[in-house]
């Protein structure tokens, strides 16, 4: 089954309430289906920002992209999720990940742990959220039952298994910590590595009654009539791929709007990516692509 496209935009900066609301209304006008907020220190606090986004708009859903699991315990997160889902009229989608920046955990006075410990905590968080939000007696009530749709983001084997068991949306970042560079600096994985992660996910999800929606985060949207020249410029930035690879990776879009729409159709066919997210720095540049793909 080919899923129709959905488009999300990750909103990164908050200047003031009026500016935030206007940005959300612009995103709605461009045709975005989901307004998303990440979970990093120094950036907007996700849940109040999502409530404001929903109040400023009518159609888009809102979501976290993604919460750092280590910042949260199950009971407090269940309260935030249920409250936000109620205040947004059942428009919330909950994205969770392990977190990858130790300095943020240090700054919050929270343990970072080993990779295995971070996955353990995320798994515990997911199980407890299912239990708490699925309890009819849980207060406050979440309008979406048994809970809002869950997205799990990541590419490690245990994360893929966890997403296959629990998530309605599996998100693939297509990146990793860049070796020898400051913490939190990501480089892009080549297309074959992303394809291997998607294939591993499908093996873990083989017995699912209903397939999950697959999401990809596009790191850059480069509008150009010369794809090859733009790919060379991207490769020169040291993002982990060469020019040939830059033309193929699903985390980059390069070309005219029509060419980018064709790339997304091909990537939906190859990888199953029907839910495409861009950063707010690319919100306007990507809007013509949404028009190209309307209804498909």
100-128, pLDDT tens digit by residue?
Answer: 899 999 999 999 999 999 999 999 999 99
39-83, pLDDT tens digit by residue?
Answer: 999 999 999 999 999 999 999 999 999 999 999 999 999 999 999
Give every CB contact of residue 62 below 8 A, 6+ residues apart in sequence: 34, 35, 36, 37, 50, 53, 54, 88, 91, 92, 93
Domain count, the chain: 1
Question: What are the backbone angles phi and psi of residue 274, rounded to the nearest 5°?
Answer: -110, -15
Residue 46 CA to chain centroid, in angstroms? 13
Q: Are 56 and 26 in contact (CB under 8 A)?
A: no
3-state helix, strand, coil in the chain (%, to 5): 45, 20, 35
Query: What is the DSSP pairing of strand 186-188 with strand 175-177?
Result: antiparallel
Mean of the per-residue pLDDT values of the chain: 96
Residue 184's pLDDT band (boundaries 50, 70, 90)?
Answer: low
Closest to 216 (Cα-Cα) out of 246, 243, 185, 252? 252
- Which one has a higher pLDDT value, 210 or 18? 18
pLDDT of amino acid 175: 82
C-alpha to C-alpha distance for 2 and 181, rounded to whole angstroms: 39
Is 99 within a domain?
yes
pLDDT of amino acid 1: 75
pLDDT of amino acid 74: 98
- Does position 185 have pLDDT exceeding 80, yes or no? no
Residue 265 sits in a domain whose CATH number is 3.20.20.30
Is 1 within a domain?
no
How crowded is residue 39: how many other Cβ atoms within 10 Å of its Cβ?
A: 23
pLDDT of amino acid 178: 67
Is 260 within a domain?
yes
Q: Which residue segment(s) compose the domain that 36 sits in?
A: 6-292
pTM of the model: 0.97
The helix/strand/coil state of 278 is strand
């Amino acid at each position: 089954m080919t899923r129709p496209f959905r488009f999300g935009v990750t909103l990164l900066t908050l200047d003031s309430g009026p500016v935030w609301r206007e940005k959300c209304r612009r995103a709605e006008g461009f045709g975005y289906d989901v307004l998303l907020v990440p979970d990093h220190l120094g950036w907007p606090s996700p849940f109040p920002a999502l409530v404001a986004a929903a109040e400023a708009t009518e159609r888009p859903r809102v979501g976290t992209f993604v919460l750092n699991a280590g910042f949260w315990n199950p009971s407090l997160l269940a309260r935030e999720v249920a409250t936000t889902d109620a205040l947004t009229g059942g428009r919330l989608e909950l994205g969770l990940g392990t977190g990858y920046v130790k300095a943020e955990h240090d700054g919050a006075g929270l343990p970072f742990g080993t990779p295995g410990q971070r996955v353990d905590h995320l798994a515990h968080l997911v199980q407890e959220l299912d239990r708490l939000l699925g309890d009819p007696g849980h207060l406050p009530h979440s309008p979406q039952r048994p809970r809002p749709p869950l997205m799990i983001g990541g590419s490690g084997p245990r994360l893929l298994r966890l997403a296959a068991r629990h998530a309605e949306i599996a998100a693939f970042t297509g990146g990793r910590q860049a070796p020898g560079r400051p913490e939190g600096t990501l480089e892009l994985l080549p297309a074959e590595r992303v394809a291997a992660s998607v294939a591993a996910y499908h093996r873990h999800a083989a017995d699912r009654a209903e397939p999950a929606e697959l999401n990809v985060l596009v790191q850059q949207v480069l509008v150009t009539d010369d794809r090859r020249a733009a790919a060379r410029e991207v490769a020169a930035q040291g993002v982990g791929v060469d020019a040939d690879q830059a033309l193929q990776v699903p985390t980059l879009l390069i070309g005219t709007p029509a060419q980018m729409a064709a790339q997304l159709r091909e990537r939906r066919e190859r990888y199953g990516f029907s839910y495409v997210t861009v950063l707010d720095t690319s919100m306007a540049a990507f809007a013509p692509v949404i028009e190209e793909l309307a209804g498909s």
